[in-house]
Structure 1
Amino acid sequence: MEKLKSLLSGVDSTKIFFTDLNGRTRGVSINPENIEKITENGIGFDGSSIDGITTVDDSDRLLFPVEHSLRIVEFDEKRLGFFIGRIDSEKGKSSYSDPRAVLVNVIDTAEREFGLRFLAGPEYEFFILKGDEFPEARHTDRAGYFSSDPNDRGDVVRETIVDILRKCGITFEKNHHEVTSSQHEINFECASPLEAADQTLLFMHVARKVAAANGFFATFMPKPFNGQNRSAFHIHLSMQDLHGNNMFYDESKKNGLSDAARFFTGGILRYARETSIVMASTYNSYKAYTIDREAPIARGWGLRNRSSMIRVPYASDPSATRIELRSPDPSGNVYLQMAVFIAMGLQGLRDSIDPGEPDTGNVYKKNTYSRIKDSRLLPRSMFEALAEAENSEFLRGVLGEGLFKSYMELKTTEWESFRTAVTTLEHTAYLSI
Structure 2
Amino acid sequence: MVCSEIINRHACPMSPEGTSGSDASPRLIAQSFLDQHPDVATIDILLPDISGVVRGKRIGRDQLPGIFEEGAAFPASVFGTDVTGDSVEETGLVWELGDADYPCRPVPGTLVPVPWTARQTAQVMLTMTDPNGVPFFAEPRVVLQRVFDRYRARGLTPVVALELEFYLIDRKREDHAPPIPAVSPVTGARQATTQVYGLDELDDFEAVLDDVANACRLQQIPAGAASAEYAPGQFEINLTHEADPVRAADHAIMLKRAVKGVARAHGMNATFMAKPFSEDSGNGLHIHTSVLDADGNNIFADPDGGKLGSPTLEHAIGGLAATLSDCMALFAPTANAYKRLRPHNYVPMSACWGYNNRTCAFRVPAGSAAATRIEHRVAGADANPYLVAAAVLAGILHGIETRAEAPPPIDGNAYETEKPSVPKTWVEALDRFASSDFVAEWFGEGFRRVFHAVKEGERRDFEAEVTPLEWRWYLTTV
Do they fold alike, i.e. is TM over 0.5? Answer: yes
* Deviation string, structure 1 residues 258-310 (Cα, Å, up to 9, x no partner): 12211111111101001100011111101111011111111111100000000
Partner of 1:198: 250
Q: Residue in 2 aligned with 1:280?
A: 332
> How far apart in 1 are the matches of 2:325 and 2:386?
19
Amino acid at match of 1:417: D
Match for 2:393: what amino acid? I
In the other structure, the counterpart of 1:372 is none
Runs of at least 5 residues in structure 1 that lack an aligned partner in the other structure:
370-375
Q: Which amino acid aligns with 1:107?
A: F
Deviation track 1:390-429 (CA, whole Å, cap 9, x = no partner) reads: 2101112222122211110111112212223333333444
Distance in 1 of aligned mates of 2:334 and 2:313:
30
The answer to whether the 8 Å contact 1:132/1:217 transfers is: no
- CA distance in 1 between counterparts of 2:150 and 2:169 reads 41
Q: How does 1:105-120 map to 2 (within 5 A)?
A: 105-112=146-153, 114-120=154-160
2:262 equivalent among 187, 207, 210: 210
State how far apart, in whole Å, the 2-side matches of 1:222 and 1:48 are.
Answer: 26
Q: Does 1:5 align with 2:31?
A: yes
Query: Deviation per CA, 1:132-181, whole angstroms, max 9, x where unpaired?
Result: 64526211222421122279543431221112102332232221111111
**Distance across 2 between alignment mates of 1:49 and 1:306:** 37
Are the aligned partners of 2:354 and 2:363 in contact in 1 as well (CA < 8 Å)? yes
Residue 320 of structure 1 is aligned with which of 350, 354, 371?
Answer: 371
Structure 2 counterpart of 1:264, from 316, 322, 346 = 316
Residue in 1 that maps onto 2:136: 95
Residue 42 of structure 1, aligned match among 67, 71, 80: 71
- The answer to whether the 8 Å contact 1:22/1:51 transfers is no
Q: Structure 1: how far apart are the matches of 2:319 and 2:259? A: 34
Alpha-carbon contact 2:201-2:228 (below 8 Å) kept: no
Tell me, in whole angstroms, the C-alpha distance in 2 between the residues paired with 1:426 and 1:85. 42
C-alpha contact (below 8 Å) 1:130/1:136 kept by paired residues: no
Structure 2 equivalent of residue 380 of structure 1: 424
- Asked if structure 2 preserves the Cα contact closer than 8 Å seen for 1:106 and 1:343, the reply is yes
CA distance in 2, matches of 1:150, 1:406: 42
Does residue 19 in structure 1 map to residue 48 in structure 2?
yes
Match of 2:205, SS state, is: helix
Tell me the amino acid that sits aligned with residue 284 of structure 1: N
Superposition deviation, residue 255 in structure 1 = 4.0
Report the counterpart of residue 108 of structure 2 in structure 1.
Answer: 67
Code of the residue aligned with 1:120 in structure 2: it is V
Q: Which amino acid aligns with 1:124?
A: L
One of 436, 442, 456 as aligned partner of 1:412: 456
Provide the C-alpha distance between the structure 1 equivalents of 2:64 and 2:117, rounded to a whole number of angstroms: 25
Q: Please give the secondary structure, in 1, of the residue aligned with 2:159.
A: strand
**Could you tell me the TM-score, scaled by structure 2's length?**
0.83
How far apart are the structure 1 equivalents of 2:238 and 2:412? 26
Indicate the SS of the match to 1:353.
coil
Residue aligned with 2:407, SS? coil
Letter in 2 for 1:39: F
Query: Do the aligned partners of residues 74 and 422 (structure 1) sit closer, same or farther apart at CA in structure 2, a change above 3 Å counting?
Result: closer
What letter matches 1:346 in structure 2? Answer: L
> In the TM superposition, what are the counterparts of 1:333-348 in structure 2 within 5 Å?
333-348=384-399
- 1:158 and 1:184 in contact (8 A); partners too: no
- Aligned residue in 1 for 2:161: 121
Q: Secondary structure at the match of 1:395?
A: helix
Q: Is the 8 A contact 1:223 1:285 kept in 2?
A: yes
DSSP 3-state at the match of 1:237: strand
| Amino acid across the alignment from 2:459 | W
Letter in 2 for 1:319: A
TM-score (ref. length: structure 1)? 0.92
In structure 2, C-alpha distance between the alignment counterparts of 1:22 and 1:3, rounded to whole Å: 30
Counterpart for residue 130 of structure 1: 170
Q: Which runs of 5+ in 2 are unaligned?
A: 1-24, 82-90, 183-190
Residues 127/118 of structure 1: CA separation in 2 closer, same or farther (3 Å cut): same
Partner SS state of residue 127, structure 1: strand
Which amino acid is the alignment partner of residue 115 of structure 2?
E
The counterpart of 1:252, out of the listed 304, 314, 322, is: 304
Alpha-carbon contact 1:197-1:338 (below 8 Å) kept? yes
Query: Quick check: 1:187 aligned with 2:238?
Result: yes
Contact 2:117 2:265 survives alignment (8 Å) = no
Deviations along 1:82-123, one digit per CA (max 9) or x if unpaired, are 3221011215222121111111111011110x2111111111
What CA distance in whole angstroms lies between the structure 2 residues aligned with 1:115 and 1:97?
26
State the SS of the aligned residue for 1:160: helix
Change (3 A) 1:78 1:247: farther
Return the alpha-carbon distance in structure 1 between the equivalents of residues 466 and 155 of structure 2. 52
Aligned length, in residue pairs: 424
Distance in 1 of aligned mates of 2:76 and 2:96: 10
Whichever residue aligns with residue 220 of structure 1, its letter is: F
C-alpha separation between the residues in 1 aligned to 2:114 and 2:162? 20
Q: Secondary structure at the match of 1:109?
A: helix
Contact persistence 1:124–1:187 (CA under 8 A): yes
Structure 1: which amino acid aligns with 2:316?
A: F
Residue identity in the other structure for 2:241: C
Is 1:303 equivalent to 2:350 in the alignment?
Answer: no
C-alpha RMSD of the superposition: 2.1
Cα deviation, residue 219, structure 1: 0.7
- Asked whether the equivalents of residues 17 and 201 of structure 1 are also in contact (C-alpha less than 8 Å), the reply is no
Equivalent-residue separation in structure 1 for 2:378 and 2:407 (angstroms): 19
Q: Is the partner of 2:200 in helix, strand or coil?
A: coil
Q: Which runs of 4+ in 1 moved over 4 A?
A: 76-79, 150-153
Q: Which position in structure 1 is the counterpart of 2:181?
A: 139
Asked whether the equivalents of residues 155 and 177 of structure 1 are also in contact (C-alpha less than 8 Å), the reply is no
CA separation in 2, counterparts of 1:102 and 1:8? 32
1:162, 1:171 within 8 Å by CA — same for their partners in 2?
no
